[in-house]
Every structure is written in structure tokens, then in C-alpha cells.
Amino acid sequence: MGKEDFVKEITNIEEDFAQWYTDVVRKAELADYTDVKGFVAIRPYGYALWENIQKYADEKFKKVGVTNLYMPVLIPESLLNKEKDHVEGFAPEVAWVTYGGGEELEERLCIRPTSETIMSTMYSKWVSSWRDLPILGNQWCNVLRWEKETRPFLRSREFLWQEGHTVHETADEAKAMTLQMLDIYADVVENLLAIPVLKGEKTEKEKFAGAENTYTVETLMIDGRALQSGTSHYFGQNFAKPFDIKFQNREGKEEYAYQTSWGISTRLIGAVIMAHGDNRGLKLPPKVAPIQVVVVPIAQHKEGVLDKTKELANTLSKKFRVKFDDRDNYSPGFKFNDWEMRGVPLRVEMGPRDIENGEAVLVRRDTQSKETVKLENIESRVEELLEEIQRDMYNVCLERRKAKTTEAYTLEEIAKNLDENQGYVKAMWCGDRACEDKVKEVTGAPSRCIPFNQEHLSDKCAICGKKAEKMVVFGRQY
């Protein structure tokens, strides 16, 4: 197959990354645009990716005692207004319901942009004693935020996510929960999606509206832009007080509870596309891929080929997620191209000569390398290869991140590094918001986080020259 066989329908990734992304989303049938502006339909293949993320994460949540529940999609305006910082943070993105059953409502209802307010209201009813705590609740649901600029998965007006909301007896317990959930998110992104994360705390400017502390897992895409891939928030008593979440403590005194909130979303599908894809299309890590192995018969019109390849597919499907492609209206070349575009990690080819020799050809999606394997060894070799592909894809991303992480000691260097080698820029910072604002004004790059793994690059703030407090990472974002 020549280059023209697989690039004709997908924009070149080096020429127009944004259009390449949109082409991949649509050509690989992950999602499609609808008649409602800013809203997408997630197609079965895209939803299967989300189901695999959901299953992996949900199992991790349950292991630490989290249980799933569900809250209403509509929230009264009076509830949203109870926490001042929270409502100010979300006001520009809120969509309102003002009519129901043909009549104007007495009070406007917002379609949930997030559920802190409705969750807190219910928790105030359910908590009266320290014995009722902790409450470790989570819901898998949709939310609506009226974004001005949208892109499938990355920033659509309606998206799917999970939002955990927990209530605790002590501040220490709530803080520990906040960081525990961040570690689970790092596990999901690194071990399932094969993307290395940068863990840290958001600055005061970038933290979640209503939180005392916001922690993040940041990821870096092929083009050097960052993607916030999961956040976990420590609320302290910021919601407990306005929503009256009180309990009788162990000394018999009334006390306000401590809360956390944390979430990941279908944005992670966008991360998988943009961290791993290439000019052939999607490139999926085996652990999250809806189809791990595709079996393609060669010369399937010849006697015995379909039977033997189907038998092989059935054998492999006992251990792996397998697709048997016996479509008779497409050539093998078209099928190879099609499944590569959809990112299937491993392809198995078998024709008359292979059957005669008792072997099959295995082709990796990530490296395009081929090998011939005896049928008696194929199951174990497929297992080894899928593990290798998962590990290698992670390492490719890790090496890219290293190459796209630089240090800067002045504002000019921050700007130069971002323009010449877009990625993460590490710099010392005095903690003053004016300096943080200046970087964004000059470069368009907000702070990503204050990394947990701190490095002492110098004693001076890279922006103003005053005494530096912490190292911060800057980067342009999605």
C-alpha cells in the first residue's frame, strides 16, 4: 500500500492538527455532528471506548468504598446561588429551563453544569451524626455547559462524565480522599490510556470555583498542547456551611462536615486520539481498545479460508476482544486501511499458504511491524504483543513529553520556548497572580499546575525577579 492509500481522507497531522483531529473523529466513526449546534452524537465505537474507561475507573472507585447514585438533571436557581464563588464561576456557561408543560416556571431551573449544589442539599438531609460519615457518592451522568467554541469530546456543550462528591468527619480525611482519587485518575490515564501524567496542584487563579484546593493530572498531546485530564477538589467546609451539612461529632458537639469533589469525562477520548494518533488515523492502546485484534482472511473466496480464519477468530475471542472481518465487498488492502484508521492494535492475516504452513501473520498498528507465528503459539504471542504495544505506546508519549519539556528563567525565555518547542515550560514563580497573568497575556499559556515533584531551578521568579516560592509549569491548552 502506498501513502496515498491511507491519507486521502484524513488531513495531514503536520499540516493542520485541528482538522486532522476532526477527520479522525468522524472517519473512525467515534462521533458525529448533530442538528443541535455544539452537541455531538457519540457513535457506538466511540461509546465503547467510554464504556471501557468507565468500567476500569468504576472498579477502582468501588475498591476504595465509593458507591454510585444519581441526582436530578435540573437544579433550582436558588440552590445554585447558595455558594457565591461557585455560581460566579459557572454563570456564563449555565443553560436555563424557564417553561414546563407550556407554563412559565415560578423559579428558573438550570440544567446541571455540575452537581455540588444538589448533592450538598441532599447530603444535608442524610447526615446528622458522625456515624453517618463518610458518604462516598459518585454519579455517571451528563452535564451541560454552554461553551462558545466546541470540538467533539474536547469541549462540547453536553458531555458525559463521572462526578464524585464525598462528605467526611475531618479535614484530614477529606484531604486524603482528594489525593487518593487523583491517584486513581493517574492510574486510569497512565495504565489504561498509556499517557503519562503530570500531577500537581492548580494555582489559586486556576482552581475550581468554590474549592480550597484543586489537584490535577495534566497530559501532553502530540502538538505540544496540554490537556487537563482529571481534577480532584478539596472543598473544606465551603459548601457544608451554606448548605447546612452538619453532624454531631464524637464529643456530642455540632460541627460542619468536610467535602471533596472529583471528575473525569469523555474528554479522555480526545486525549487518546491526540496523544497517540498518526496520519493513518487512530492508534488505540490495547487495554482500552474496543477491538484488540482484527482477523482478516486473505483470498477468502478460496476453499477452507473462511472456515479456518473464523475458527482462529473464535479461539482468540475467548481471551481477547476480537473482530472477524469477512466482508466480501472489500479487498484485504481496504480492510487493512480501515482497521488501521480505527486504531485496532493488532491485525491477524491468514490466507491459503498460511493455512498450509500452519501459521498466521501478525501486524502491529503502532509500529507497522509484521511477524509470522505458528498457530500453536499464536494465543501466547498475541498476549505478549498486546502487552508490548501498551508499554511501547506509553513510552513513546513519555519520550515526547521529555523532549517537549523545557526550563525558562525569564518571561522572554518562557515565550521563546513555547513558540519554538511547544510543550511544558518549567519556571520558578513568586506566587503573585500578576506574574501568572503576565505569562498568559504574553504567551497565551496559563499555568498548568504546581507539580508535586518540585525542582529548585533558581531563587528568582522568572517573571518579576522577586524571591521565588515554587516551580510552576506553563503550557498552552485544549
CATH number of the domain enclosing 64: 3.30.930.10
Model pLDDT, residue 3? 40
In terms of Cα–Cα distance, which of 406, 403, 398 is closest to 457?
Answer: 406
pLDDT band at 250 (very low <50, low <70, confident <90, very high): very high
> HSE of 52 in the Cβ direction (CA atoms, 13 Å)?
23
- Is the pLDDT at 7 greater than 50? The verdict is no
- Is the pLDDT at 297 greater than 90? The verdict is yes
Is 447 among the domain residues?
yes
- Is the pLDDT at 6 greater than 50? The verdict is no
Model pLDDT, residue 87? 65
* CA separation, residue 262 to residues 156, 161, 215 (Å): 19, 10, 9
Looking at the structure, do residues 261 and 125 belong to the same domain, yes or no?
Answer: yes
Model pLDDT, residue 86? 65
Q: What share of the chain is helix, strand, coil (3-state, %, to 5)?
A: 35, 30, 35
**DSSP type of residue 258:** E
User: Which of 276, 302, 317 corresponds to the end of one domain?
Assistant: 276
Name every residue whose Cβ is closer than 8 Å to that of residue 109 and which is 6 or more positions away in sequence.
74, 75, 76, 77, 96, 97
pLDDT, tens only, 75-91: 999 988 886 676 677 77
- Is the pLDDT at 273 greater than 50? The verdict is yes
Pairing relation of β-strands 158-168 and 135-144?
antiparallel
Is 394 among the domain residues?
no
Give 410-462 as a 3 state SS string. CHHHHHHHHHHCCCEEEEEECCCHHHHHHHHHHHCCCEEEEECCCCCCCCECC
Looking at the structure, do residues 257 and 329 belong to the same domain, yes or no?
Answer: no
Is 458 among the domain residues?
yes
Looking at the structure, do residues 429 and 368 belong to the same domain, yes or no?
Answer: no
Give the CATH number, domain containing residue 319: 3.40.50.800
pLDDT, tens only, 308-332: 999 999 999 999 999 999 999 999 9
Give the CATH number, domain containing residue 428: 3.30.110.30
pLDDT, tens only, 371-389: 999 999 999 999 999 999 9
pLDDT, tens only, 152-209: 999 889 999 999 999 999 999 999 999 999 999 999 999 999 999 999 999 999 999 8
Name every residue whose Cβ is closer than 8 Å to that of residue 383 and which is 6 or more positions away in sequence.
319, 320
Looking at the structure, do residues 319 and 457 belong to the same domain, yes or no?
Answer: no
Looking at the structure, do residues 38 and 86 belong to the same domain, yes or no?
Answer: yes
Looking at the structure, do residues 368 and 440 belong to the same domain, yes or no?
Answer: no
Looking at the structure, do residues 72 and 116 belong to the same domain, yes or no?
Answer: yes
Is 283 among the domain residues?
no
Looking at the structure, do residues 465 and 318 belong to the same domain, yes or no?
Answer: no
pLDDT band at 92 (very low <50, low <70, confident <90, very high): confident
Is 284 among the domain residues?
no
CA distance 194 to 396: 9
Looking at the structure, do residues 114 and 216 belong to the same domain, yes or no?
Answer: yes
Q: What is the mean pLDDT of residues 328-339?
A: 94
Q: What is the mean pLDDT of residues 237-252?
A: 96
Backbone angles phi, psi at 36, to 5 degrees: -100, 115
CA distance 275 to 282: 10
Is 395 among the domain residues?
no
The tally of domains found in the chain comes to 3
Looking at the structure, do residues 108 and 253 belong to the same domain, yes or no?
Answer: yes
* Residues above pLDDT 70, as percent of the chain: 97
Residue-range definition of the domain harbouring residue 449: 405-474
Looking at the structure, do residues 43 and 167 belong to the same domain, yes or no?
Answer: yes
CA distance 463 to 449: 16
User: Which of 317, 352, 385 corresponds to the end of one domain?
Assistant: 385
Looking at the structure, do residues 351 and 208 belong to the same domain, yes or no?
Answer: no
